[in-house]
Amino acid sequence: MAQTIQNDKRYEAGVIPYKKMGYWEPDYQPIDTDIIALFRITPQPGVDPEEAAAAVAGESSTATWTVVWTDRLTACEKYRAKAYRVDQVPGNEEQYFAYIAYDIQLFEPGSIANLTASIIGNVFGFKAVKALRLEDMRIPTAYMTTYKGPPTGIVVERERLDKFGRPLLGATTKPKLGLSGRNYGRVVYEALKGGLDFVKDDENINSQPFMHWRDRFLYVMEAVNKATAATGEVKGHYLNVTAATMEEMYERAEFAKELGSCIIMIDLVIGYTAIQSMSNWARKNDMILHLHRAGHSTYTRQKNHGVSFRVISKWMRMAGVDHIHAGTVVGKLEGDPNQIAGFYDVLREPHNEQNLEHGVFFDQDWAGLNKCMPVASGGIHAGQMHQLLHYLGEDTILQFGGGTIGHPDGIQAGATANRVALEAMIMARNEGRDYMAEGPDILQKAAKDCKPLQHALDTWKDITFDYTSTDTPDFVPSTTTSV
């Protein structure tokens, strides 16, 4: 029941609850063109959850803390975001899911900066809520089509690289910092020649005293081309063009293009506008664009406050990146299997159905936007190949940094071990075998023809990172009796 104060009393000077200002409309039926945001709200003790939801709706759209008569100069009912549903979070008495609908005309077309300035601009510091998390968003087709999406996409990337039917393999050059350009290129060459498709700069490799960016680019491209000739395969290295200014990033990207690189890389910390600019550049220059999600855990990891990585995934597919790090399930970094399945679906599927177990709250159509390749990186090794394939599927990039470079027989051997393990697992899967159950056995058999794989399995056989995830779904499948 709407509690909005009607007519002249609504605009009397003073402070009235947000709920009564028109930001709580329980009868509101969202229309197809509305943008819907789902927040997890932890109200301060004593604050009514509906009032908290209305406050979030108000502050993320038109409201301020007091009544202003200038509202009456506008079609203000249209511009007010409307909280229309508040549910208690299952098993949590403190938290509520609040659904808020926004009129499409509240947002600038094709601007993640504008979208986020509204939705997460002010509300997260709001005193009436103890904590706030943006869990999911439904982007209507009408707004989705104002974004260009990934410049290359999974399909075209695979066609350009001539690599089909298996995850791509990568590695991050280690140590992350300190290598000279010449030594850095050595790691790249060995890993690519050994069987990886890509090697990658790390997020914090830009242009430091030990290695300036031009030097890195030149040595890396020597390594890439030499490995291509040695294997007859297309190879690449994500050249990180992250820099202090757009001008500097464009200069580095242009140089990467001049040298014939097929891919460049940026970090999430450059900001949404810079990401969209680099996406435009990549689209114009036939360049694959890799995004490292540097910094995201500061706001995605804790369940009660921040922004879910599912939402970041949506924004980044809209903003237009071709690759994004999205979790490994089995590696060293945070990642509940169900949550990660949800992120991967958001990045890769043409259409998402609501799937609460995976944390996907809304049906989402991607309106033909290209698919974005999720990247699994951080603490994974060849011995987990069956699990990686099972959890992450085929359209992903598996990045074994330590798992390649740390191999006892050297980098080439490490790369070969990963590639053989991967191809053996794909073959077994395609043959219809229960590769999850038989995984260790499949790997052992493949290792008979491949000593490096045997040594990899021996070295890392017991390495797992078994910690409890902090970011987990709130809904679990219930057991129902079949009749």
Partner 1 sequence: MRITQGTFSFLPDLTDEQIKRQVKYCLDNGWAVSLEYTDDPHPRNTYWEMYGQPMFDLRDPAGLMMDLEECRKTYPKHYIRVTAFDSTHQWETPRLSFIVNRPPEEPGFRLKRQEQEGRKVRYTIDSYASDQPEGQRY
Choice between 117 and 259, CB closer to partner 1? 259
User: Is residue 233 near partner 1 by the rule CB under 8 A?
Assistant: yes
Choice between 164 and 467, CB closer to partner 1? 164
Q: How far apart are the first and last CA of the chain?
A: 39
Q: Please, which of residues 263-302 interact with partner 1 by CB under 8 A?
A: none
Residue 229: CB minimum distance to partner 1, A = 4
Mask for 135-174, x = binds partner 1 (CB under 8 A): --------------------x--xx--x-xxx--------
Q: Could you tell me how far CA 19 lies from the centroid of its own chain?
A: 34
Choice between 195 and 359, CB closer to partner 1? 195
User: Is residue 251 near partner 1 by the rule CB under 8 A?
Assistant: no
Mask for 437-456, x = binds partner 1 (CB under 8 A): ---------x--xx------
Choice between 178 and 368, CB closer to partner 1? 368
What is the C-alpha to C-alpha distance for residues 288 and 299, in angstroms, rounded to an integer? 27
C-alpha triplet 420, 423, 426: angle, nearest 5°: 150
Residue 429: CB minimum distance to partner 1, A = 8
C-alpha triplet 471, 474, 475: angle, nearest 5°: 135
How many residues bind partner 1, per CB under 8 A?
Answer: 39
Residue 350: CB minimum distance to partner 1, A = 5
Tell me the backbone φ, ψ of residue 467, rounded to 5 degrees. Answer: -115, 155
Choice between 68 and 218, CB closer to partner 1? 218
Structure tokens at 321: 């990146």
The DSSP secondary structure of 319-336, one letter per residue, reads: HT-SEEE---SSSSS---
User: Is residue 432 near partner 1 by the rule CB under 8 A?
Assistant: yes
What is the C-alpha to C-alpha distance for residues 208 and 204, in angstroms, rounded to an integer? 9
Say which amino acid occupies 29. Q
371 given a catalytic annotation = no
Stretch that binds partner 1, among 12-20, 201-209, 406-414, 419-427 (CB under 8 A): 419-427
292 given a catalytic annotation = yes
What is the C-alpha to C-alpha distance for residues 37 and 28, in angstroms, rounded to an integer? 14
Do residues 308 and 349 make contact, with C-beta atoms less than 8 angstroms apart? no
Choice between 378 and 452, CB closer to partner 1? 452
What is the C-alpha to C-alpha distance for residues 62 and 68, in angstroms, rounded to an integer? 11
Residue 337: CB minimum distance to partner 1, A = 25
Cα torsion 242, 248, 251, 252: sign: negative
Choice between 166 and 323, CB closer to partner 1? 166
Mask for 98-137, x = binds partner 1 (CB under 8 A): ----------------------------------------
Which residue in 292, 358, 381, 407 is the catalytic one?
A: 292
Choice between 169 and 275, CB closer to partner 1? 169
User: Is residue 234 near partner 1 by the rule CB under 8 A?
Assistant: yes
Q: Please, which of residues 353-382 interact with partner 1 by CB under 8 A?
A: 368, 371
Which residue in 174, 305, 332, 390 is the catalytic one?
A: 174
What is the C-alpha to C-alpha distance for residues 435 and 444, in angstroms, rounded to an integer? 13
Do residues 375 and 323 make contact, with C-beta atoms less than 8 angstroms apart? yes
Mask for 198-227, x = binds partner 1 (CB under 8 A): --------------------x--xx--xx-
Among 90, 109, 178, 350, binds partner 1 (CB under 8 A): 350
Residue 197: CB minimum distance to partner 1, A = 10
Residue 316: CB minimum distance to partner 1, A = 19
The DSSP secondary structure of 39-92, one letter per residue, reads: EEEEEPTT--HHHHHHHHHHHTTT--SS--GGGGGTTHHHHS-EEEEEEEPTT-
Beta strands in 351-440 (DSSP E): 351-352, 364-365, 373-377, 397-399
Q: Which value, to the nearest 10 degrees, does the dihedral of the CA atoms of residues 209, 290, 147, 53 take?
A: -80
Do residues 9 and 72 make contact, with C-beta atoms less than 8 angstroms apart? no
User: Is residue 434 near partner 1 by the rule CB under 8 A?
Assistant: no
Please list, in sequence order, all residues whose beta carbon lies within 8 angstroms of the beta carbon of residue 84, skipping any fewer than 6 positions away: 24, 25, 26, 27, 28, 29, 30, 99, 100, 101
Residues assigned a catalytic role:
174, 292
Chain residues binding partner 1 by CB under 8 A are 155, 158-159, 162, 164-166, 195, 218, 221-222, 225-226, 228-234, 258-260, 350, 368, 371, 416, 419-420, 423-424, 426-427, 430-432, 446, 449-450
